Amino acid sequence: MGSEFSEFHIDLKPMRGRDMEEVKGEIRVTLEKFPGVTFAVTPFLEERIQEVLSGGGGEVVVNVFGNDLQAMDRKAQEIREIVGAIPGAKDVLAEAQSGTPEVTVSLRKDRLRQFGFEATDVLEAIQTAYQGIVAAQAYDNDRVFEVTVILEPGRRKTPETIGRLLLRNAAGLCLPLSELAEVDLTSGRYVVIHENTRRRQQVTCNVEGRDLASFVSALKRTIKSKVSSPPGVSVSYGGAAEASGKARNELLFHSVVAAAMIILLLSLVFENSRNMLLVLVNLPFALAGGVLAAFLAGGSLSIGSLVGFVSLFGISMRNSILMISHYEDLATEEGMTWGLETAIRGATERLLPILMTALVVVLALLPLALGSGEAGREIEGPMAIVILGGLVTSTVLNLFVLPTLALRYGKFVAKEGTDL
């Protein structure tokens, strides 16, 4: 980081997640009183994770790539203003612009030709004078010391003395550097950041009061409609939002593959498609409760919520498999005639196993759901809330609605092969 950048570490007492957000808001209010200061309030671990994901310290990252540094700076400032105007944006930062003091030595080719100096000789002389060059090595037993030729410290500390550096050409002519080059005090960059061999500028921000997905979607639409990139300048997106979207897509893809395999296995277990579809009917039962629980908990779907839905579907399908397979056993193994009496008996006999399964899950996940607002439970909390909400609806509907559907649409065949 450059000299304009500082970090202040503030140790907070243990508190819930919502309390921490309130404290972060109070810190922002305090810092906003200092004119000309841009800042970000980020927990230590969250900042390190964001840096690993995108190289920047923000949940949302907009990368500007190109070759013209000045054009990239202008585009980054334009994007910074757009990001700051979108509702929910906090801690909007752009990477530091040029402004680091430096001395620029620009060789004058006409003067070099006039006095017979080679450009490489002049540059090597400047490097030797101010950076030093290894001229020899001295040995002391098994220790090696490099002997470096460099100007004395007193003559290297003052920028104004650079132009008085004496240079000698092959003919022995001595001239000061100011006769062969333009020596100016200018401003530049302490570092030019690259990513994948391309120059990069970066705008970062955090999101508060809304979900990341909708914020990034609004940001992309606004940048696409209002920002025109000059030739050679391109814009890309990164940060936790992009990583979350990628993880979400991967999770959905693998879930679809797993669902296809599960349906294939169910089709092999159940002899007819009606019973297999009855098993799958429990999925909407679970989905309704999970969505309702997620809505009541804040209305946003995170990676933890999606993982909760995957787990919820597995638990709810297990309960429906228990119910439908038991109906098949009653009809095929015990020879009962399929009807209202058989449906009631099957639901009654599977009441205890289904309730015990639900109770064990509830007891295991209830502490996580109640403490979902605490720091460190950003994944486990939403997952537990979704599973609990969906488990309530799926259990109730599995015990009351599924037997009714099975009585109306189920098809169970006795051992003799007669439909009952």
Q: Could you give the 3-state DSSP secondary structure of residue 186?
A: strand
**Alpha-carbon separation of residue 78 from 62, 64, 281, 406 (angstroms):** 12, 11, 52, 62
Which pLDDT score, from 0 to 100, does residue 418 have? 44
Kindly list the distances between the CA atom of residue 345 and the CA atoms of 276, 302, 402, in Å, as whole numbers in the listed order.
Answer: 20, 41, 13
Q: How confident is the model at residue 125 (pLDDT cuts 50, 70, 90)?
A: very high
Q: Band of the pLDDT at 138, cuts 50, 70, 90?
A: very high
C-alpha–C-alpha distance, residues 309 and 287, integer Å:
7
Question: pLDDT, tens digit, for every residue of 99-124?
Answer: 778 888 999 999 999 999 999 999 99
* Average pLDDT estimate for 140-147: 90
Mean of the per-residue pLDDT values of the chain: 83
Average pLDDT over residues 334-363: 82
Can you give the pLDDT at residue 98? 65
Burial class from Cβ neighbours inside 10 Å (0-12, 13-18, 19+) for residue 347 reads buried
Which residues, 6+ apart, have CB-to-CB distance to 365 below 8 Å?
384, 387, 388
CB of 240 closer than 8 Å to CB of 45: no
Alpha helices in 270-339 (DSSP H): 273-280, 282-296, 303-332
Question: Tell me: the pLDDT tens digits for 254-301?
Answer: 888 988 888 888 888 776 777 888 888 878 888 888 888 888 877 667
Q: Quick one: what percent of the chain has pLDDT higher than 90?
A: 13
Reference 377, options 11, 20, 7; nearest CA is 20
pLDDT digits (tens, 9 = 90+) for 349-388: 888 888 888 888 888 888 888 876 666 666 788 888 888 8
The Cα 360–Cα 349 span in angstroms is 18
Are the beta carbons of 365 and 311 closer than 8 angstroms? no
- Strands (E) located in 108-162: 133-140, 143-149
**pLDDT surpassing 70 at residue 10:** yes
419 pLDDT band, cuts 50/70/90, is: very low
- pLDDT for 108: 93
Question: In terms of DSSP bridges, do strands 234-238 and 60-66 run parallel, antiparallel, or are they unpaired?
Answer: antiparallel
Mean pLDDT of 36-46: 78
More confident residue, 17 or 406: 406
**What is the structure's pLDDT at 50?**
65
For the chain, domain boundaries: 17-99+192-241, 100-184, 270-409
For the packed helices 69-85 and 212-226, what is the interaxial angle rounded to 10 degrees?
Answer: 130
∠ CA 348-353-354, nearest 5°, is 85
The domain over range 270-409 is classified in CATH as 1.10.3720.10: no
- For residue 98, which of 200, 2, 204, 235 has the smallest C-alpha distance? 2
The 8-class DSSP code of residue 413 comes to: B
CATH architecture of 100-184: 2-Layer Sandwich (3.30)
Confidence band (pLDDT; 50, 70, 90) for 127?
A: very high
Just give the CATH number of 17-99+192-241: 3.30.70.1320
Distance between CA atoms of residues 410 and 336, nearest Å: 14
Q: How far apart are the C-alpha atoms of 62 and 201, rounded to whole Å?
A: 8
Is the predicted pLDDT of residue 17 greater than 70, yes or no? no
- Containing 204, the helix (H) or strand (E) segment is strand 198-207
